[in-house]
Amino acid sequence: MTTTELFHEGQDLFIGGHIEESIKAYTRAHDEGYDPVRTYLSRGVAYLRKAEYDKALDDFSAVVALDPNNERGYYYRGITYMDIRDFEHALEDLDHAIALNPERGTSFLARGLTRSELGCEEDAVSDFKAAVAYSDVEASSFAHTFGNTHTLFEKSMALVEGERGPLRIVLTENEVKKLEKWMEN
């Protein structure tokens, strides 16, 4: 089996929910010389899904060390930091991700959640508005990618409901519905 086939096998296994097997396939592909950025990124996402945060952080850090312009490396490392409640590092990485790709709605949504946790409500509102404006296909799967931490989503729903800020005043009803849909997934 070629390294490309190993990598694609890892992707198929991941999509099929066979996370541990996908990690093994990505590792083999990497060890046999396949593109290290792609293998680290994909394996890091698999580790994130398994809540193996240290391993995920190692892989995402390897991605950004090898390719400092890889916005997905910063994005997923930021998501990992969010999961372990290291919001300062999450914000730093999400800022990088947005600087590299200012049109990914999920990055703005994640940064809005992070800013909300850091008590920066006005900045969080701006990010939620940007998330709606730049929404893309990936946004609908954000909650699944984000992992098992639903506390941030619950707190963000409080923003949508107006319990922690004037989000309903600044967002249109359609924007609120889109955010609610993302957060309920």
Per-residue pLDDT band for 89 (boundaries 50, 70, 90) equals very high
Q: What is the pLDDT of residue 139?
A: 46
Fold match between 1-68 and 78-185?
Answer: yes
The full set of domain ranges for the chain reads 1-68, 78-185
Q: Using an 8 Å Cβ cutoff, are 38 and 7 in contact?
A: yes
How confident is the model over 35-86, as pLDDT tens digits? 999 999 999 999 999 999 999 999 999 999 999 999 999 999 999 999 999 9
Superfamily of domain 1-68: Tetratricopeptide repeat domain (1.25.40.10)
Q: What is the pLDDT of residue 167?
A: 45
What letter would DSSP give residue 139? G
Looking at the chain, list the stretches that DSSP marks H as alpha helix, in order from N- to C-terminal side.
3-15, 19-31, 36-49, 53-66, 71-83, 87-100, 105-117, 121-133, 142-146, 151-161, 167-170, 173-184
How confident is the model over 111-131, as pLDDT tens digits? 988 998 888 888 888 888 887
Please report which helix (H) or strand (E) contains residue 119, including its range: none
27 pLDDT higher than 70 = yes
Q: pTM here? A: 0.77
Q: Which residues contact 108 (CB under 8 A, 6 or more apart)?
A: 98, 127, 128, 130, 131, 134
CATH of 78-185, one of 1.10.3470, 1.10.150, 1.25.40, 2.115.10: 1.25.40
